[in-house]
Amino acid sequence: MSINSIDHDEMLKKSEDWDFNDDINPQKPTKGAKSVQVRRRIEALKEIRESGLTLEEAKELGIWE
């Protein structure tokens, strides 16, 4: 297909109908993924506690959100 054979009016119609939100499909974490995330946060908190840092200090250092 050459560039000259493209129907530009048809392309314009399709692009006007195209909704950007259709492409964004945020996937919600499954129950298993949530539990993995929770376990990671718990482990991170344990490591922070073992290191002797407070939660505020960890936040300042960017270790904790």
3-state SS, one letter per residue, for the chain: CCHHHCCHHHHHHHHHHCCHHHHCCCCCCCHHHHHHHHHHHHHHHHHHHHHCCCHHHHHHHCCCC
pTM tops 0.75, yes or no: no
| For the chain, domain boundaries | 32-64
User: Tell me: the pLDDT tens digits for 3-60?
Assistant: 566 777 777 777 677 666 655 656 666 778 888 889 999 999 999 999 999 889 998 9
